[in-house]
Structure formats: C-alpha cells, structure tokens
Amino acid sequence: MGDDGGGIGGRAMSAACAEGAPVRVIHNPTSGGGAWDGEAHLRAALADRGVEWVRTGRLGEAREAAREWRDGLLLVVGGDGTVNEAVHGLGLAGFPEGVTLALLPTGTGNDLARTLTVPADPKDALETVRAGRTRVLDAARVRSGEVGERFFVNVAVGGAGEMVSEAADDESLKGRWGELAYSRAFVEVARSFHAPVVRLVVDGEERRVRALNVAVGNCRYAGGGWPAIPRANPEDGLLDLVVVEEAGLSGLLGLGRKALTGADYLGDEGVFFARGRSIRVETVPPGGFGFNADGELVGRGPVDFSVIPRALKVIVGSGYAPEPPERLSDRALRVVSQA
C-alpha cells in the first residue's frame, strides 16, 4: 500500500504485484477501435502468474469481473469506459483492501491514465505495472434518482460537457481532430447551449450560477485530455468542483486557449472553483441538464457527490504526483485557431 509521502519506491513492488500474487486481466478487445495487438506479448509476460483472463463482450461484464475480485492485481486493458466499469464494480464490492488496480490504456481518451502518468504506449505501461509504484487514491460516490448509486475515480461532467461527451464520440470527428475532438465539440455545443440556473451546495454552503458546464471529480482530465479539473489532487480527501459560467464565444475561446496550453484557468472571470467532501448539483427548475461520470449517464439531477477517502490502491507512473504540475500540457491551439 502507498504511504502518505512518496509512495512505494520504483524498485519495490506492491503486494499485488509480488511474485505469486493472483492477477485478473479485464480486456476489452474493442477499445480504441480494436487497434491493440499486444495480447500475445502480455500473456507471455504474465505466463508465470496464473492469470485469469476476462475478455469483455457486452456492457457490464467488466463491472462484474471487478466486483467479484477480492485479492490481487486487477489489470484493465481498455479505455476509460472499461476502467470506469471496473472501478464501479470495485465500489459495489466495498473497494476491497486486497485489490490493486493497474491500467494498460488502449482507448482513445485514456484520461485517468494521464493523471496517473501511465504511459500511452502499452509496452511502457506494462513496465509501469511491473515497477509496482502504488498509491492509495480517493474515490467518489454519486447518487441520483434515475440511476441510484455509482462509483468513479476520475471526472463527472454536466451541462454542455455532458452533451459534448456524446458529440466527441463521433468517429468522423475523432478521425479529423484526434485528441482535440472533445475540445472542438465543446466549442460547437457551447455556441447553442442554453445555460440554466444551477444550485450548488458544497459542504452545506449554497451558491447559484448560470452554468454552461459543471465538472466534479477527483482527477484532472476528461474527453481525451481536456483539463476539466486542473488542480485536482486524487489523495486530498476532497472533490473538486469547476463551473464554467455563461459566457460569450470570445470568452469561451479565451478560456479554451488557456486550458489547451496547460495554463491554470480557474482564477479567470466566469469560472467558479471549490472543494468539498460533499457536493450537490441541481438545475432550477430541476432536470435542466444531464450528468455523466466517466462517460456513464448518472441522471438529470439533482445529483449528489461524496468523497470516499483512501479507497483504492492504484499503480501509477514514475511521473505521478498528487499535486498537479504548474502547467498540465503543451499542446497546440489548433481547436481554437480553427474554430
């Protein structure tokens, strides 16, 4: 288990990674369009571990495979949707202390892997798993009248962001814009989105804003690299709330420029930022927009979020730090310059 300081060192391995510890692989062969071809290499690398291999073929299989796994390493080979299912399954099981989650990202977004600095290259990601640097992250619980209770560790978005998640999944948009598909789709959706009044309650303190987008979470990225919650610390026992208030197109593009260069935009005019252990979001009147958590619909509100401190052991990359770096990204401004 990771400690409160630097975590387990690079040469050490967590108990779940140690020789002889059980391993279950949850593999979604359709993630990233099915482009990953490293199954034979991974099986060979784990050949001495008595691996249980679960190949998913329908929605919910990753959730159930994770829910019944109570001890050892749980290696998810897939994208954010598969990881989200696995985390939800672990949450339904009470986040068993004996389980350590590891990622081999093969999706198109891989947002959780970005915060954890797990390499995008699957072979490098496997080396990260072998290194066994382990931290204990907080998790989030979300409740709504429509879907009941869900668990996640990354980001939930509502408003324009929830609509953007659907638009950004369009294959033609992904093909043209790649990692910037979410950012491009956000600009397009926001141009015509009617921002409702939103009631926010953070640890009992209420605020009302006219919100274009609401993000609540524990990690930093959504939609394939968009820094939705750039200051998030996955280990501080708090959830971050970022609200982009109603703004004109010029203001939105200016915000986009800062976000895409990795600059901290949370102090800008029209952005509300808070942290808390419990966060309630509801539109006035209710049902004004939908929310999804790591891509899974959680309802149209009211939606209640709460943090579960030190819930989940996760293997992280060598560059991971709980506090984010000053600049999150050096990506170009193609999305705003061509908007």
Residue 200 and residue 277 share a domain = yes
Task: Specify whether the CB–CB gap between 215 and 241 falls below 8 A.
Answer: yes
Residue 218 and residue 133 share a domain = no
Tokens of 157: 């978005």
Query: For the domain that residue 35 is a member of, what is the CATH number?
Result: 3.40.50.10330
Distance CA 127, CA 154 (A): 23
Chain center to CA of 157: 10
Q: Please report the pLDDT score of residue 254 as a whole number.
A: 66
Q: Please report the pLDDT score of residue 300 as a whole number.
A: 85
Half-sphere exposure of residue 233: CA atoms within 13 angstroms, side-chain side: 14
Tokens of 74: 């749980």
* Residues spanned by the domain of 70: 23-137
Kindly report which listed range (34-43, 109-118, 303-312) carries the lowest average pLDDT score.
34-43
pLDDT in tens, 205-225: 999 999 888 999 999 998 778
What is the number of domains present in the chain?
A: 2
- pLDDT average, residue stretch 305-326: 94
Tokens of 189: 């959706």
pLDDT in tens, 176-215: 555 555 666 666 666 667 788 999 999 999 999 998 889 9
Answer with the one of 97, 113, 137 that is the final residue of a domain.
137
pLDDT in tens, 75-112: 999 999 999 999 999 999 999 999 999 999 998 889 99
Percent of the chain with pLDDT over 70: 76
Task: Name the helix (H) or strand (E) containing 31.
Answer: none
pTM for this prediction: 0.85
Q: Does pLDDT of 169 surpass 70?
A: no
Query: For the domain that residue 243 is a member of, what is the CATH number?
Result: 2.60.200.40
Residue 115 and residue 148 share a domain = no
176 burial class (0-12, 13-18, 19+ CB within 10 angstroms)?
A: exposed
Q: Please report the pLDDT score of residue 335 as a whole number.
A: 28
The residues that bridge with 105 in the sheet, in sequence order, are 78
Residue 195 and residue 112 share a domain = no
Within a domain: residue 320?
Answer: no
- pLDDT average, residue stretch 33-54: 87
- pLDDT average, residue stretch 231-239: 97
The residues that bridge with 160 in the sheet, in sequence order, are none
Secondary structure (DSSP) of 271-292: EEEEEESEEEEEEESTTSS-EE
- pLDDT average, residue stretch 154-165: 78
Tokens of 188: 């397009």
pLDDT in tens, 53-69: 999 989 999 999 999 99
Indicate the DSSP class of residue 97: T
